[in-house]
Amino acid sequence: MREYGSFPWIGSRTAVWIAAEVHLMFAAFVLGVPMFAVVAEAIGIFGRDERYDRLSKEFTRLLLIAYSATAMWGAVLVFFLTTLYPRFWAHMTEIFEVSMWIYVGLFFVESFTLYLYYYGWERWKSGRAKIGHWTLGILLNVWGTAVLFIADSWLTYMMSPPATVTPDTSPAMVQFWSAFANATWMPINIHRLIANVVFGGSVVAAYAGYRFLSARTDDERAHYDWMGYVGNFIAIGALIVLPFAGYYLGREIYEYNQQMGITMMGGFMSWLWIIQAFLIGVLFLAGNYYLWVGMGRIPGAERFLPYTKWMLLVLILGVIVWSTPHTMIADRAELEAMGGSHHPFLGVLGVMSAKNTAVNLMILTTFLSFLLYRRANRRPVVSWARSGTIVQGGLFVIAAAVVLFYGVYGYFVTAIVRIGFSVYQVLAVLATIVGVIAIDVAMLRGSESRGAIRWGQMPPRSQYALFVLVVTFTWLMGLMGFARSGIRQHWHVWEVMRDTSEWAATPALGYAAQIISVCVIIFLGLIAFIFWLGGLVEKPQLVPKSGDG
């Protein structure tokens, strides 16, 4: 069997890279959107709020037209793999053939469930039929998640094959389940599930932003302003928990193979995390900016505006700390110039104690932004409102204190102890988020309105933040894909099947960035075109232009 094919101009590796990345971007969108579409439909049904039902249908309409593009790019990827990497693909199919058949079957089931879900919307819109329709939405998520989990098993096997598999092991002798449920399978599943929601929310928000900017009537503007807000809320809300899933994945990679973990965080990929920190900083800043500008259309929000400058300060300081380089590969001249293996000043900020503290405070700040936004036009009527607010404030202070305490204490203990501190920091932040939300929900039950949110009265500049968000999320997805795949270095399957092609070397970040940018442009260009086509066919039903949100 020939080992490798050849692709003109860009080479085999880049051809597969682009096909895989663009396929993944579409797949993330079509797997993420059903999750919040079905939640929006549930809010519509059980909250008797028809706006959410219409919103859910519009989400699903975007989904429907993006679906075929996902399948097409998937087919391109499979054909590229079979023709350009036949030896590797034969290895994979010999181990995973059964799961590949199931995958194809699920794809059929998922597609037809989606068709029923969308085209049955108006037919099954009330009573028990509506519950049945909603069940279809749940099934759509079940099939989609199963598809995701199966595909994840293939790519995680490449990263973390079972330790019993060696270069001499025949693929036929590899136990299917040990290859399927390998060391990084579940961490990737969880990370991708959350990331897909983030990504889907940001694409929907950008779509709404575009429709807002091109709206001709106030009703249209109000509808898309609200849709943009919901999309952004979903994206940033899920983003807040994503770093925790990232920690879990990173920890499992280290536990699987220290060398792989070191290559990822401190080897040739170490600079990648500085770029990642910058991008996530942009996400936090743009997401918060959108919320703060959005407060301008909420009566009563003006009382919170003075706090925004302090929140901005925390976010900027957090980004600076998080982006500080520390453990980088340096040559002898660079080491001498720094006076050691670390910069004498920046080295203090670049350690994990400082970075974990920074990111946890950024998450707390962003959560505070959401809370203020949510509270802006509400006046609680419960007798314990003041006490409740004080307790909420206390929870924030306690969480910040715990984060800072362990951040500082981390400088005085060994690395292995310090790693454990991040768990306490994360738990403090998560506990505060859960506790504050629980109090808020109870406290605002039956609350008075300070005035309806003026949907549609949003400055156009706010919508451009939504475009920055979607570009950044998409680019970040490409960057993290490069990190996950690149840490295998010159192995198709880590320490089992060596890449002996002319493209075996893992490129530097500059080249990777160019390919990622090409993928982002292809994806955004295609999805804009697809959405435009969808808009020609059907106009959405608009929601009322004002409401309490």
Partner 1 sequence: MWGTNLRILAVVLGTIGLYTLLANAIPQIESEVPEELSFTGDVSPEQLIEAGQELYEGAGGCTACHGLGTRAPNLLLAEADQGPIGARCGERVPGEDCKAYLHRSMVEPQAYVVEGFQPIMPDVSRTLSDAQIWSLIAYLQSQGGEVTVTAADLQASEDAGQDTAGGAAGAATGSATTDPIQLLAEMQCIACHRLGGEGQEVGPPFDGMGSRLSPEEIRTAILDPAASISAGYEQFAGVMPPNFGSRLTAAQLEALVGFLAARE
| CA gap 401, 398 in Å, rounded | 5
What residues does 379 pair with on adjacent strands?
448
Q: Least distance (Å) from partner 1 to the CB of residue 302?
A: 28
**All residues at 6 or more sequence positions from 104 whose CB lies less than 8 Å from its CB, including other chains:** none
Phi, psi of 498 (to 5 degrees): -80, 140
**Which residue number, 276 or 457, has a Cβ lying nearer to partner 1?**
276
Q: Least distance (Å) from partner 1 to the CB of residue 404?
A: 25
**Which residue number, 486 or 540, has a Cβ lying nearer to partner 1?**
486
**All residues at 6 or more sequence positions from 316 whose CB lies less than 8 Å from its CB, including other chains:** 285
Q: Least distance (Å) from partner 1 to the CB of residue 473?
A: 11
**Which residue number, 42 or 524, has a Cβ lying nearer to partner 1?**
524
Nearest CA-CA partner of 322 in 284, 268, 370: 284
Q: Least distance (Å) from partner 1 to the CB of residue 393?
A: 36
Q: Using H for helix, E for strand and C for coil, what is the string for 285-345?
A: HHHHHHHHHHHHHCCCHHHCHHHHHHHHHHHHHHHHHHCCCCCCCCCHHHHHHHCCCCCCC
Nearest CA-CA partner of 396 in 424, 359, 435: 435
**All residues at 6 or more sequence positions from 20 whose CB lies less than 8 Å from its CB, including other chains:** 77, 481
Q: Give one DSSP letter per residue of 239-253, joined into a string.
A: HHHHHHHHHHHHHHH
**Which residue number, 354 or 368, has a Cβ lying nearer to partner 1?**
354
Contact predicate 59/204, CB 8 Å: yes
Q: Least distance (Å) from partner 1 to the CB of residue 305?
A: 25
Q: Least distance (Å) from partner 1 to the CB of residue 332?
A: 8
Listed in sequence order, the DSSP H helices in 47-126 are 50-84, 86-119
**Which residue number, 124 or 256, has a Cβ lying nearer to partner 1?**
256
Q: Least distance (Å) from partner 1 to the CB of residue 435?
A: 29
**Which residue number, 507 or 547, has a Cβ lying nearer to partner 1?**
507
> Which secondary-structure segment (H or E) carries 497?
strand 497-498
**Which residue number, 283 or 444, has a Cβ lying nearer to partner 1?**
283
Q: How far apart are the first and last CA of the chain?
A: 62
Q: Least distance (Å) from partner 1 to the CB of residue 80?
A: 21
Location of structure tokens 């993330």: 28
Q: Least distance (Å) from partner 1 to the CB of residue 509?
A: 5
Q: Least distance (Å) from partner 1 to the CB of residue 182?
A: 9
Residues that bind partner 1 (CB under 8 A): 162-164, 166, 168, 178, 183, 210, 213-214, 254-259, 262-263, 266-268, 271, 274-275, 278-279, 327-330, 332, 341, 416, 464, 467-468, 471-472, 475, 486, 489-490, 495, 499, 504-510, 512-514, 516-517, 520-521, 524
State the DSSP code for 49: -
**Which residue number, 163 or 313, has a Cβ lying nearer to partner 1?**
163
Please calculate the CA angle 397-402-406 and round it to the nearest 5 degrees.
Answer: 150
**Which residue number, 107 or 278, has a Cβ lying nearer to partner 1?**
278
Listed in order, strand segments (DSSP E) in 348-422 are: 378-379
| CA gap 369, 308 in Å, rounded | 8
**Which residue number, 181 or 430, has a Cβ lying nearer to partner 1?**
181
Q: Which amino acid is at 463?
A: Q
